[in-house]
Amino acid sequence: MSVYFSVSPLNKRILALAIPNVVTNIAIPLLGMVDMGLMGHLGSAVYIGAIAVGTTIFNFIFWSFGFLRMGTSGFTAQAYGRRNLEESMMTLYRALFLGFSAGLMLILLQMPIDWLAFSLIHGSKEVETLARQYFYIRIYAAPPTLCLYAFTGWYIGMQNARIPMTVSISVNILNILFSLCFIFLLGMKTRGIALANVFSQYAGIFLATAFFLIYYRKLLKYKPILKLGTRNFWKFLSVNKDIFIRTLCLIFVGSFFTAKSASSGDAILAVNSLLFQLFYFFSYFIDGFAYAAEALVGKYKGAGNSFQLVRVIRRLFFWGMIISLVFTIIYSLAGHWVLSLLTNNLIVLTDAGPYLFWLGLVPLITFSAFLWDGIYVGATASRAMRNSMIVAAFLVFLPAWYLFKGILGNHGLWLAMMLFMGTRGVLLTWFSKRAVLQ
């Protein structure tokens, strides 16, 4: 045990990347909690439901382009390990090109997206009206949001987690300040939450670009002219195609979860939305170490250092186990108290009581899947990631839901989610020897 806790060079590298990433990732669910908290104190569960539905739509949209961060991180880290700075810059150019183009396309397609989204997610009339107001404002944050994915992945691949942390904290502070202003001074409610997101995302891309010019300006000597169509660019697209499919499956599961929650009524939708904020809080926390895995695994994979590759994977899982145990204890003992910070609605808090025990299971069941995601991204082992996600989503999650929904109701929905995450961890462990270590 002392070997793992000693301040070894490897531990220093892991923590130097993981801690800023943890801070970066915690800022994301904290913002979601603030949004939920602001809506939760407006006197009706309808506002919580509207933000939950609107956020689910944008999770589906933006997480679909998660490869802009994940693929960028893996390819950049491997180029960094080979000391190929030109290729690392080409990776950034490719990701920014795709991110900006996709953002503009989403704005142009906002009406078809609206039709499709609200055809799939059904809430009460009041919830849908407010969620649509949110949607038609926040969609204009698409270009900067997707470009920020590219910058974040690139900085992580370059073994620099401090800049994404600084940008993320700045964006979220601005988002909270804008939200408070728009809601309580201008009375905009859900519109205010959406507009605050738009303003803060544009501020974020400005900061990310400014940091690049300050610290990496010399790399601009590598021009993107005639580089986007090269063999490496098509490899970038091929790998990220698998990550895209994998991400769509993950978003499908999350959206299915929210849709079934909404169909069970505004009360269950509010309960599950609040509980999922705590799920997100843990996931973003453990993802800080997964992002460190992306950087270090990619670096050692690119350098061909299999000894260090195995060492860093083992060490990451040790830290993951410690973190999951801590969260299990906190959620098991203080889950109700934490929920009370998010809403003062006594009906919602009472309805949440029977489902709190699932929070105690979340960390232990899910942490390995999150860590393996980071490891596979660093190794650019996209095919195994895709296949394990397809199996877990369509051969485990959906059958489990349809099997248990009539018997367990909302408990069946949570059981299906836990089986889904557990299956992912098992399959990724099974595939790792061939996909990552060879």
The gap from C-alpha 114 to its chain's centroid, in whole angstroms, comes to: 22
With beta carbons less than 8 A apart as the criterion, state whether 127 and 46 touch.
yes
The owner of tokens 């950087």 is 295
pLDDT tier at 3 (50, 70, 90 boundaries)? very low
pLDDT score, position 134: 87
Over residues 126-137, mean pLDDT = 83
CA distance 258 to 219: 44
pLDDT score, position 117: 83
3-state secondary structure of 41: coil
CA distance 204 to 193: 17
Going by C-alpha positions, the residue among 136, 222, 209 that lies closest to residue 167 is 209
For 55, residues 6+ apart whose C-beta sits below 8 A from its C-beta are 32, 35
The owner of tokens 């973190």 is 323
pLDDT at 227 > cutoff 80: no
CA distance 316 to 211: 29
pLDDT tier at 431 (50, 70, 90 boundaries)? very high
Going by C-alpha positions, the residue among 104, 113, 105 that lies closest to residue 131 is 113
CA distance 417 to 415: 5
Mean pLDDT of the chain: 86
Q: What is the pLDDT of residues 342-375, one digit of tens each?
A: 776 777 777 777 888 888 899 999 999 999 999 9
With beta carbons less than 8 A apart as the criterion, state whether 100 and 65 touch.
no
Q: What is the pLDDT of residues 82-125, one digit of tens each?
A: 999 999 999 999 999 999 999 999 999 999 998 888 887 766 77
The owner of tokens 């700045």 is 170
With beta carbons less than 8 A apart as the criterion, state whether 281 and 29 touch.
yes
pLDDT tier at 309 (50, 70, 90 boundaries)? very high
pLDDT score, position 43: 53
Residue 37 vs residue 353, higher pLDDT: 353
The gap from C-alpha 396 to its chain's centroid, in whole angstroms, comes to: 22
pLDDT tier at 145 (50, 70, 90 boundaries)? very high
pLDDT score, position 427: 97
Token pair in block for residue 429: 């462990």
Q: What is the pLDDT of residues 265-290, one digit of tens each?
A: 777 888 888 888 788 888 888 999 99
pLDDT at 301 > cutoff 50: yes
CA distance 426 to 326: 22
Lowest mean pLDDT among 52-66, 68-82, 294-308, 317-331: 52-66
Alpha-helix residue ranges (DSSP H) falling in 392-409:
398-408
Q: What is the pLDDT of residues 208-218, one digit of tens each?
A: 999 999 999 99
Residue 363 vs residue 238, higher pLDDT: 363
pLDDT score, position 42: 57
pTM of the model: 0.84
pLDDT score, position 1: 47
Residue 342 vs residue 384, higher pLDDT: 384
Going by C-alpha positions, the residue among 73, 76, 202, 81 that lies closest to residue 146 is 202
Residue count of the chain: 438
With beta carbons less than 8 A apart as the criterion, state whether 346 and 43 touch.
no
Q: What is the pLDDT of residues 152-201, one digit of tens each?
A: 999 999 999 999 999 998 998 898 888 888 877 887 777 888 899 899 99
How many CB atoms within 10 Å of residue 438? 9
The owner of tokens 């919830």 is 127
CA distance 70 to 378: 8
pLDDT score, position 123: 66
CA distance 331 to 322: 14
The gap from C-alpha 171 to its chain's centroid, in whole angstroms, comes to: 16
CA distance 342 to 29: 12
With beta carbons less than 8 A apart as the criterion, state whether 344 and 41 touch.
yes
pLDDT at 224 > cutoff 80: no
3-state secondary structure of 64: coil
Amino acid at residue number 142: A
DSSP letter, residue 83: T
